[in-house]
A and B are shown apart, each in its own frame.
Chain A
Amino acid sequence: MTRQARSSLSLDVLSEWVRVDPVSGDVVDLAALRVPGAAALRDTDGAVRLAGARNEYVSFQVIVRNGGRRIRDVRLSFGGLAGPSGARIGRREFEPHVQWYHHVEPHGWIPDALVPLKWVEGSVGVPWRAAGVPKQTVQGFWIDLFVPPDSPPGPYQGQLLVALDGEKQSLPIRLEVWPFAVPDECSMVADMNAYAPGIVRGWEGHEHSPGLLNAWKGLDSFDACGTVAYRTAERNTFRCAHDHRSLYHYLPYAHSGSIPHPSFIPELAGEGKAIRVKSWAAFDQHFGGYLDGSAFKGTRRGPIPLPFMYTPQNFHWPADFAKFGRKGYRTEWRRVGAKFVEHFRTKGWTRTRFELFFNHKQRYKYFPWDGDEIKFLEDTDHMYLFRDLSAGVYDAADPVQFIWRVDSSWVFPAHCRTDLGEFVKLWVVNSSYQAEAPDGVNLLHERGCSVFHYGGASPLDAPLSWVWLWPLRTLGRGNDGFTWWLTTGWSPDIWRRSHDNYATCVFYPASPWGRLDVLGGIRAKALRNAMQTIEYAALLDRKRGPGTAIALVNQALGTSDDSWWGEPFPADPLSWEGVRRRLASALMA
Chain B
Amino acid sequence: MTKEAPVHRLKPPAKTTRALAARLKEVARIGALFVEGDFLEEVFASGRDWKSGDDINFAHAPYIELKRTVLRIERIADFRCFATLALIRRDDPAKAEAVVCGMRNPFGIAPVPMTPAMLRCVKKGEITSETESGRVRAFAPIANSDGETVGFLMVHTG
Determine whether the beta carbon of A222 is less than 8 Å from that of B98: no
Determine whether the beta carbon of A322 is less than 8 Å from that of B68: yes
Chain A contact patch, size range: 20 to 34
Determine whether the beta carbon of A324 is less than 8 Å from that of B67: yes
How far is it, in angstroms, between the C-alpha of A370 and the C-alpha of B57 when the chains are bound?
8
Residues of A within 8 A of B99 (CB): 365
Which residues, 6 to 23 on B, are CB-close (under 8 Å) to A?
6-8
Determine whether the beta carbon of B58 is less than 8 Å from that of A222: no
Determine whether the beta carbon of B105 is less than 8 Å from that of A321: no
How far is it, in angstroms, between the C-alpha of A141 and the C-alpha of B72 when the chains are bound?
59
Interface flag for A500 (CB, 8 Å): no
Interface flag for B59 (CB, 8 Å): yes
Would you give the shortest CB distance from A172 to chain B, in whole angstroms?
Answer: 57
Determine whether the beta carbon of A320 is less than 8 Å from that of B54: no
Interface flag for A369 (CB, 8 Å): yes
Determine whether the beta carbon of B2 is less than 8 Å from that of A365: no
Which residues, 55 to 110 on B, are CB-close (under 8 Å) to A?
55-60, 63-64, 67-68, 71-72, 84, 98-105, 107, 109
Determine whether the beta carbon of A365 is less than 8 Å from that of B71: no
Interface stretch (choices A257-265, A303-311, A453-461, A518-526): A257-265
Interface flag for A362 (CB, 8 Å): yes
Residues of A within 8 A of B52 (CB): 363
Residues of A within 8 A of B134 (CB): none
Determine whether the beta carbon of B6 is less than 8 Å from that of A258: yes
How far is it, in angstroms, between the C-alpha of A87 and the C-alpha of B103 when the chains are bound?
62
Determine whether the beta carbon of A362 is less than 8 Å from that of B8: no
Would you give the shortest CB distance from B69 to chain A, in whole angstroms?
Answer: 8
Interface flag for A16 (CB, 8 Å): no
Residues of A within 8 A of B102 (CB): 256
Interface flag for A373 (CB, 8 Å): yes
Interface flag for A381 (CB, 8 Å): yes
Determine whether the beta carbon of A223 is less than 8 Å from that of B55: no
Interface flag for A419 (CB, 8 Å): no
Determine whether the beta carbon of A322 is less than 8 Å from that of B8: no
How far is it, in angstroms, between the C-alpha of A303 and the C-alpha of B63 when the chains are bound?
46
Determine whether the beta carbon of B54 is less than 8 Å from that of A361: yes
Given known pairs A361-B54, A373-B54, A375-B54, the reply for A368 and B60 (CB within 8 Å) is: yes
Pick from A223, A258, A364, A368: contact of B67, CB below 8 A.
A368
B97, closest chain A residue (CB): A365
Interface flag for B45 (CB, 8 Å): yes
How far is it, in angstroms, between the C-alpha of A364 and the C-alpha of B56 when the chains are bound?
10
Determine whether the beta carbon of A370 is less than 8 Å from that of B54: yes
The prevalent SS among residues of A at the interface is loop
Determine whether the beta carbon of A258 is less than 8 Å from that of B7: yes
Residues of B within 8 A of A165 (CB): none
Determine whether the beta carbon of B60 is less than 8 Å from that of A322: no
Interface flag for A446 (CB, 8 Å): no
How far is it, in angstroms, between the C-alpha of A369 and the C-alpha of B63 when the chains are bound?
10
Pick from B7, B53, B54, B64: contact of A368, CB below 8 A.
B64
Pick from A256, A325, A368, A370: contact of B105, CB below 8 A.
A256
Residues of B within 8 A of A262 (CB): 6
Residues of B within 8 A of A364 (CB): 101, 105, 109
Pick from B2, B72, B101: contact of A366, CB below 8 A.
B101
A318, closest chain B residue (CB): B3
Determine whether the beta carbon of A222 is less than 8 Å from that of B8: yes
Interface flag for A220 (CB, 8 Å): yes
Interface flag for A344 (CB, 8 Å): no
A326, closest chain B residue (CB): B68
Pick from A365, A367, A373: contact of B109, CB below 8 A.
A365
Which residues, 341 to 389 on A, are CB-close (under 8 Å) to B?
361-370, 373, 375-376, 378-379, 381
Would you give the shortest CB distance from A199 to chain B, in whole angstroms?
Answer: 16
Residues of A within 8 A of B45 (CB): 376
Residue in B1, B54, B56, B64 whose Cβ sees the most chain A Cβ within 10 Å: B54
A255, closest chain B residue (CB): B105
How far is it, in angstroms, between the C-alpha of A444 and the C-alpha of B104 when the chains are bound?
37
Determine whether the beta carbon of B60 is less than 8 Å from that of A381: yes
How far is it, in angstroms, between the C-alpha of A390 and the C-alpha of B28 when the chains are bound?
36
How far is it, in angstroms, between the C-alpha of A322 and the C-alpha of B2 when the chains are bound?
10
Interface flag for A43 (CB, 8 Å): no
Residues of A within 8 A of B107 (CB): 365
Residues of A within 8 A of B101 (CB): 256, 364-366
Would you give the shortest CB distance from B142 to chain A, in whole angstroms?
Answer: 15
Determine whether the beta carbon of B3 is less than 8 Å from that of A223: no
Residues of A within 8 A of B100 (CB): 365
Determine whether the beta carbon of B72 is less than 8 Å from that of A322: yes
Determine whether the beta carbon of B68 is less than 8 Å from that of A363: no
Would you give the shortest CB distance from B28 to chain A, in whole angstroms?
Answer: 18
Interface flag for A280 (CB, 8 Å): no
Residues of B within 8 A of A376 (CB): 45, 57
Residues of A within 8 A of B8 (CB): 220, 222-223, 260-261
Determine whether the beta carbon of A256 is less than 8 Å from that of B109: no
Interface flag for A410 (CB, 8 Å): yes
Instruction: Identify 17 new A-B residue pairs, CB closer than 8 A, beyond the known A322-B68, A323-B1, A375-B55.
Output: A220-B8, A256-B103, A258-B6, A260-B8, A261-B8, A262-B6, A271-B2, A321-B68, A322-B72, A363-B52, A365-B105, A366-B67, A368-B64, A369-B60, A370-B54, A375-B54, A379-B57
Spell out B's residues near A (CB within 8 Å): 1-3, 6-8, 45, 52-60, 63-64, 67-68, 71-72, 84, 98-105, 107, 109
Q: List 14 A-B contacts (CB under 8 A).
A: A259-B6, A260-B8, A322-B1, A322-B3, A362-B57, A364-B109, A365-B98, A365-B105, A365-B109, A367-B67, A368-B60, A370-B54, A378-B60, A410-B54
A-B pairs with lowest CB-CB distance, top 5: A368-B63, A222-B8, A322-B71, A368-B58, A362-B56
Spell out A's residues near B (CB within 8 Å): 220, 222-223, 256-262, 271, 320-325, 361-370, 373, 375-376, 378-379, 381, 410
